[in-house]
Structure 1
Amino acid sequence: MIYDSLIHYIQERSQSPLTSSDIALIRESFVYKKLRKRQFFLQEGDICKHFGFIVKGAMRQYTVDQKGSEHNIQLYIENWWASDRESFWKEKPSIYAIEAWEETDLLLLPKANGYYERVNAIPAFNEMRIKLDDNNSIASQRRLRASMFDTAEKRYEELTLRYPEFIQRFPQHIIASYLGITKETLSRIRNQSAKK
């Protein structure tokens, strides 16, 4: 069943148990949505109204500069959460777009009608969310530091160690953008790596 992976995910990341009424509330609150490849979860200028849990598929979050170049900010795969937190919490238009890179099955938790607040009141969900927020903050700090101090080679090496699935699931131009390097630089690094 589509909800099993989400329930398993919450249980794995919290010490508090999920009760049968908690599970019923989760099933009632999360809405299933299927996105086609290249279909938007969020478009730039829209207000983000959901947190999306990816059951199957891959997505990317990006922004477009004044010259029309895309800059990939975040990549998502199964068992990841997709959202623009600033837009969601502050109810302001997003400066990002989030699109499905593969056909994607999502479970959406809406902010409207108190769904988010009710689910967040579940102890296991709240515990999981706090851990995710902490991990997200740590990952953002690491990424910022890497972009300032690490070589392109080091950034690519770290990505292949931490998230090898990204290399398999996203094309080279998206990986290069995510790392903040050119496609040519990434191609050179991959060629050097293959010769080792």
Structure 2
Amino acid sequence: MAQQGAQGGRLRRPRGHRRGDAGDRRDPARRLTDRLAAPAGQDAHWRTGEGCPAILSFQITPIGTVRNDRTDVQHTDNWGAVRSTITIDERFGEACLQGLEGFSHVEVLFLFDQFPEHGDYREPRPNRGRSDLPPVGVFAGRGPRRPNRIGVTCCAIESVHGRELTVVGLDAVSGTPVIDLKPTMTEFLPVDVKQPEWVSRLMSEYFRP
């Protein structure tokens, strides 16, 4: 039986896929579609591969677009002073950012739409192809060529006006689709963060002005 997502997208189960027991009426896939539901009229669906469990695929509609003076995706450093304006789609109304002005920072989730995915993620690679850095798995790095090509950056809020949010320090070129915004809250911030020594070398110029 198909399931109904929060936005009307229908989740289709492959033949032979069984629902969990009676106590598990919202299985993990349903919870995922509740949060990342397909837009109305567009279906989320299951796909299967030989020897693989059912995998949920879904579509996300951007909520807005980045505008700034950065256009070269190969210029990967010096984002610290970049000022970007995110214009939210009019379907969310003029009050969609109301209350965000009370926060100092916002987490911006965006799509690396100008980068292709790697064809094979199984082989560890050094970040940026640098020979002085160790090879790491795809989920031990933050590069743009990754599954689903989703980026996330915590940025300082400069101003909020209607559907326009201006931030500083967003590492996304002009025209980048934004898929979500979340206010940065102290309770969500980690403490006692640690990282390998090579990360500081990799990121030494990244957020410099």
Structure with higher strand content: 2
TM-score by length of 1: 0.26
Structure with higher helix content: 1
- Higher gyration radius (CA): 2
